[in-house]
Amino acid sequence: MRAMDIMTTDVITATPDTSVRDIASLMLKHHISGVPILNHAGHLVGIVSDGGLYRRAEVGTEPRRRSWL
């Protein structure tokens, strides 16, 4: 088996200027776990994965301080 046998060809992408909240919305809407980030020339500059969204203030998942602290 090769990558081409299982890869996705209709890829959902974002730009470096896309907000974290918008990327999270894209991932939920399309049931995907990662979004490639492309620059203005269409070159890959990074990837945002679902793991990168955990504990983020931008999406309301930041850790809560315990009341006794």
CATH topology of domain 11-59: CBS-domain (3.10.580)
Backbone angles phi, psi at 66, to 5 degrees: -70, 145
Q: Which pLDDT score, from 0 to 100, does residue 51 have?
A: 85
Per residue in 12-68, pLDDT (tens digit) is 999 999 998 899 999 999 999 999 999 999 999 999 998 888 766 666 666 666 666
Distance from C-alpha of 37 to C-alpha of 16, rounded to nearest angstrom: 6
Listed by start position, the domains of the chain span: 11-59
Cβ neighbours of residue 45 closer than 8 Å, sequence gap 6 or more? 16, 37, 38, 39
39 close to 17: Cβ distance less than 8 angstroms: no
pTM for the model stands at 0.74
